[in-house]
């Protein structure tokens, strides 16, 4: 059993730190499960290979995908751990339609993130309408983003101030909060500023909007001086 554990750890070290991997995410997840069973938990595995437990949890979540999506992952048509992990946050019946649209180039990784976020805020909305809303936000001149609003962060004035510190208040065309769902429309200049701030922070635009909304710790941003 010790030999099997050593093999699993070697595979994980070689596969979780490289952009170009020889194994699919599904194969990595199976080796991770071997190591987890042998060591008694993900934390122990994380300590042995020097990777965060949260990152390992994302790799392991691939095993929870629906059979159809697992097939796409096995074929490496979906090969991003971030995308695969986000797909697990959708209902089993909704994972494959989104995954297929992603593979066909009809959606990108940012779209998947937005779909998951909007689904969380609008559980009764049909998947088709959610996808359409996300696509519509890309096709209009203004930058329109939907985001989930944490229960303890629904102060519209404060949220606008935080957004304004990043993009400039005059570039916020509209900001609405309806229950747990927020929508912000930015001018072209605002979108450019958001894109630059996201790049500086190592995030996507939608990830930065989620962060500003209160999901996670916000990184310091340069205040608008115009």
159 and 213 in a common domain: yes
181 belongs to a structural domain = yes
57 belongs to a structural domain = yes
Distances (CA, A) of 141 to 70, 121, 160, 167: 36, 25, 21, 16
pLDDT, tens only, 71-99: 999 999 999 999 999 999 999 999 999 99
Q: Once rounded to an integer, what is the mean pLDDT over residues 91-112?
A: 94
The number of distinct structural domains making up the chain is 3
Higher-confidence residue of 98 and 192: namely 98
For residue 145, what pLDDT is reported? 82
CATH assignment of the domain containing 200: 3.30.70
165 and 97 in a common domain: no
CA torsion sign for 152, 158, 160, 163 is: negative
123 and 48 in a common domain: no
For residue 90, what pLDDT is reported? 97
Q: Once rounded to an integer, what is the mean pLDDT over residues 175-203?
A: 87
Question: Quick one: what percent of the chain has pLDDT higher than 70?
Answer: 90
158 and 226 in a common domain: yes
73 belongs to a structural domain = no
146 and 132 in a common domain: no
Domain boundary among 64, 95, 111: 64
Supply the DSSP symbol for 169: G
218 and 149 in a common domain: yes
7 belongs to a structural domain = yes
Rounded CA separation 7/34 (Å):
10
Q: Which residues pair with 35 in a beta bridge?
A: none
Structure tokens at 49: 């290979």
* Least confident residue range of 16-25, 68-77, 96-105, 136-145: 136-145
At residue 17, what are phi and psi to the nearest 5 degrees?
-115, 5
162 belongs to a structural domain = yes
Rg (CA), the chain: 20
131 and 165 in a common domain: no
145 and 127 in a common domain: no
The domain of 200 spans 140-226
75 belongs to a structural domain = no
Structure tokens at 101: 């649209």
Domain boundary among 64, 94, 113: 64
Domain boundary among 18, 35, 64: 64
Regarding pTM above 0.75, the answer is: no
Q: What is the mean pLDDT of the chain?
A: 86
170 belongs to a structural domain = yes
Residue 133 Cα to chain centre, angstroms: 17
152 and 131 in a common domain: no
Enumerate the H helices of the chain as residue ranges. 2-15, 25-39, 42-49, 53-60, 67-74, 81-87, 92-103, 109-121, 127-139, 156-167, 188-201, 205-213
222 and 192 in a common domain: yes
220 and 155 in a common domain: yes
Q: Which residues pair with 175 in a beta bridge?
A: 184
User: 225 falls in which pLDDT band (50, 70, 90)?
Assistant: very low
Q: Once rounded to an integer, what is the mean pLDDT over residues 37-65?
A: 92
Rounded CA separation 140/77 (Å):
29
225 and 162 in a common domain: yes
């Amino acid at each position: 059993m010790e030999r099997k554990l050593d093999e699993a750890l070697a595979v994980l070290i070689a596969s979780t730190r490289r952009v170009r991997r020889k194994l699919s995410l599904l194969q990595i997840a199976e080796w991770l499960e071997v190591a987890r069973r042998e060591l008694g938990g993900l934390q122990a595995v994380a300590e042995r290979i020097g990777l965060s437990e949260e990152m390992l949890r994302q790799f392991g979540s691939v095993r929870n995908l629906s059979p159809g999506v697992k097939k796409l992952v096995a074929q490496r048509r979906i090969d991003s751990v971030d995308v695969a992990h986000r797909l697990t946050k959708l209902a089993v019946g909704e994972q494959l339609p989104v995954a297929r649209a992603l593979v066909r180039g009809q959606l990108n990784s940012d779209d998947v993130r937005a779909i998951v976020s909007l689904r969380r805020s609008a559980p009764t909305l049909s998947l088709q309408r959610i996808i359409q809303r996300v696509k519509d936000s890309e096709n209009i001149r203004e930058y329109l983003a939907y985001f989930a609003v944490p229960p303890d962060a629904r102060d519209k004035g404060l949220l606008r101030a935080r957004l304004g510190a990043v993009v400039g208040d005059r570039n916020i065309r509209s900001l609405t909060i309806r229950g747990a769902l927020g929508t912000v429309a930015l001018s072209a200049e605002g979108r450019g500023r958001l894109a630059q701030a996201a790049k500086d922070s190592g995030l996507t635009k939608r990830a930065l909007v989620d962060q500003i909304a209160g999901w996670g710790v916000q990184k310091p941003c340069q205040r608008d001086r115009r």
